[in-house]
Amino acid sequence: MKKILICLFALFIAVPVYAIDGTQLLKQIDRNLNPESYELYRKLINIEPDGRKKEYVLFTVKKGRDKVAALFLSPASEKGRSTLRLGDNMWLYIPNVGKPVRITSLQSVVGGIFNNSDIMQLDYADEYDVEKIEEQGNEYLLHLKAKTKTVAYDRLKLWADKNRKIPTKIECLTEAGMLIKTLYFKEVKDFGGGTVRPSVIETDSPLYKGYKSVIIVANIKQKDFKDEIFTLTFMPNMESLRK
């Protein structure tokens, strides 16, 4: 009898969901997290084991499926730097250097645990296929597999609130299933314009014991942009978008 109860409990906490279209659910999670095209302000905080912090403020714009650009507003040492992502290709512009340099998704322009792919995040549905969905109480658990080898993480386990259909936690894994980092989505906030989403994303990693990084979203607004903004030649002019 005890074994039967244990089996029934296991089925209750992790029931595969067959009736739901995984791709459509993931697309809905993407849209609830961010409009397709938007501008936002956010603060990124890197916290070291001894409690020391380094903070960055970024202004970010995104258009469609594969265009993301960001401008550093602070600290003073980083002000004027900008980043650009077009699909799998990424660049960093440093005013003193004078021309954009290529960067990779696994590098980090801010140090800490968030890499460039995290900072210039595209829609999950554009980078991942849904292999399986499970039902765990008030959440869905989506098992995601990268569509190509260029994606930063081979696999993701994404927990999403059933009602709001927004992420609550994401585990980033290697192809062999080793945990690289965990993202925690907290403090759901109404940003207006129909965007109700977590305003805080925290991350930790077994590879960086004692370290933590946090993103705080201060404002997000649906907005469309011209394609010319997402070009190498426009990178020095990102500040003009804020006027």
Looking up residue 77, the CATH number of its domain turns out to be: 2.50.20.10
Q: Is 184 a member of any domain?
A: yes
Does residue 7 belong to any structural domain of this protein?
no
Q: Is residue 6 part of a domain?
A: no
User: Is residue 54 in some structural domain?
Assistant: yes
Number of structural domains in the chain: 1
Residue 8 inside a domain? The answer is no
Is residue 66's pLDDT more than 90? yes
Mean pLDDT (whole number) for 39-52? 96
- pLDDT value of position 15: 46
Instruction: Tell whether pTM > 0.85.
Output: yes
**CB-side exposure of 193: number of CA atoms within 13 Å?**
15
Q: Is residue 2 part of a domain?
A: no
Contact 90, 150 (CB under 8 A): no
* 197 domain residue, yes or no: yes
Q: How far is CA 166 from CA 42, 93, 178, 196, 208, in A?
A: 19, 33, 24, 9, 27
Burial class (CB in 10 A: 0-12, 13-18, 19+), 134: middle
Whole-number Å distance between alpha carbons of 199 and 166? 12
- Would the pLDDT of 12 be above 50? no
Q: Measuring CA to CA, which residue among 183, 164, 191 is closest to residue 32?
A: 164
> Could you tell me the pLDDT band of residue 98, with boundaries at 50, 70 and 90?
confident
pLDDT at 11 over 60: no
Give the domain range for residue 162: 15-242
Please check the confidence at residue 21 and state whether its pLDDT lies above 70: yes
Q: Extract the tokens encoding 43.
A: 């603060």
Confidence of residue 68 (pLDDT cuts 50, 70, 90): very high
Range of lowest pLDDT (5-9, 74-78, 146-150, 190-194): 5-9
Share of residues in the chain with pLDDT > 70 (%): 92
Mean pLDDT of the chain: 91
Please write the tens of the pLDDT for every residue from 121-163: 999 999 999 999 999 999 999 999 999 998 999 999 999 999 9
pLDDT of residue 243: 78
Whether the Cβ atoms of residue 56 and residue 79 lie closer than 8 Å to each other: no
How many other CB atoms are found less than 10 A from the CB of residue 121? 20
pLDDT at 62: 96
Give the per-residue pLDDT at 193.
87
Is the Cβ–Cβ distance between 79 and 73 less than 8 Å? Answer: yes
pLDDT at 10: 46
Amino acid letter, 13: I
Please list, in sequence order, all residues whose beta carbon lies within 8 angstroms of the beta carbon of residue 185, skipping any fewer than 6 positions away. 166, 167, 168, 169, 170, 198, 200, 201
Write down how long the chain is: 243
C-alpha 33/C-alpha 161 separation (Å) is: 12
Query: Is 226 contained in some domain?
Result: yes
> Which H helix or E strand runs over 59?
strand 53-63
* % of the chain beyond a pLDDT of 90: 85
pLDDT at site 9: 45
Residue 93 pLDDT greater than 70, yes or no: yes
Q: Which residues contact 96 (CB under 8 A, 6 or more apart)?
A: none
